[in-house]
Amino acid sequence: MHRATLVSPIPISGHQERVISGHPELPISGHQSPPRDRSVTLNLAARLQSVGTPESIQLAHRIYACSPRMNKPCKHVLCPICAANTAKQRRRALERIYRQSSPTETFDLLTINTPAEYLLEGRLRLLEGWRRLRRQKRFGEAYTAGVGHIEYPSLSGQVGWNIHAHLMMRRKEGSGGEDLSDSWEALMKGLGGKGRLDVQEGYGAGLPFYVTKRQRRELLSLSDAQLEEVVRDVPGKKWVVRYKRFV
């Protein structure tokens, strides 16, 4: 990309029209991506540009130039197109594990959360809590493996974030009935916050989709201050939580 393009404002609205109509002379490198994802990217790039921090402007240009079909994915976790592709790959991998499991194997949906005023504080607390939880004896007695990712919707009508993770967990044969929610609540309290743990046993075939889902438009609904926080405190790579490995 030319230097001039990097410093000029991104002409969002004009491009969006043409992306949707599939105009063959589009100057945008990622135009072959599904129009919905591309239009979310363009809107998000415009928002990031208007947030105006060096990081947000840099990210605006990065996702704007993202072009998986030209073999140039930007691979940023906040890029709508790359996030969708990653989610699809993970979903397929988990669906394969689900399909190939024996009839006696059970998978649970495990959800852990911690509300937090600041994204970074909440993420660190959730990850530390998860690290301690999975070392507990009764956790090891309940599960053999699991994987999921962290989501961070803003708390509606309040300041802060509902940092949470949904995990697909493979239950150990013969286990059941452990109550891990007390453990999680105690861990979160010990780390200066609060939080809840919820288990839905034997969730069913929709589980791989549920734990890999992406909320395509959630970033667009954030305020400028929240978006600035996301850009600063969400690492560029995946927010994954796991317990051992499925195999």
Task: Pull the structure tokens for residue 74.
Answer: 């930007």
User: Which residue carries 């509300």 as its tokens?
Assistant: 115
Residues 6+ apart with CB under 8 A from 6: 61
168 binds Zn ion (CB under 5 A): no
Distance (Å, whole) CA 215 – CA 157: 19
Task: Pull the structure tokens for residue 242.
Answer: 């796991």
Which residue, 66 or 219, is less far from Zn ion as judged by CB?
66
Q: How far is the CB of 38 from Zn ion (least distance, A)?
A: 11
User: In this chain, which stretch among 77-85, 197-205, 230-238, 239-247 interacts with Zn ion, using CB under 5 A?
Assistant: 77-85
Which residue, 76 or 123, is less far from Zn ion as judged by CB?
76
Which residue, 79 or 97, is less far from Zn ion as judged by CB?
79
74 binds Zn ion (CB under 5 A): yes
Sign of CA dihedral 126, 128, 129, 135: positive
79 binds Zn ion (CB under 5 A): yes
Distance (Å, whole) CA 235 – CA 98: 29
Q: How far is the CB of 74 from Zn ion (least distance, A)?
A: 3
Question: Using the rule CB under 5 A, which residue among 12, 46, 48, 66 binds Zn ion?
Answer: 66
Question: Using the rule CB under 5 A, which residue among 42, 45, 48, 82 binds Zn ion?
Answer: 82
Residues 40-59 that bind Zn ion (CB under 5 A): none
Quick note: the x/- pattern for Zn ion over 97-136, rule CB under 5 A, is: ----------------------------------------
Task: Please give the size of the binding site for Zn ion, defined by CB under 5 A.
Answer: 5
Exposure of 43 by Cβ count < 10 A (0-12 exposed, 13-18 middle, 19+ buried)?
middle
Helix and strand numbers (H, E) in the chain are 10, 5
* Edge-first strand listing for the sheet containing 161-171: 196-200, 107-116, 161-171, 143-151, 240-243
Q: Could you list the residues that contact Zn ion (CB under 5 A)?
A: 66, 74, 79, 81-82
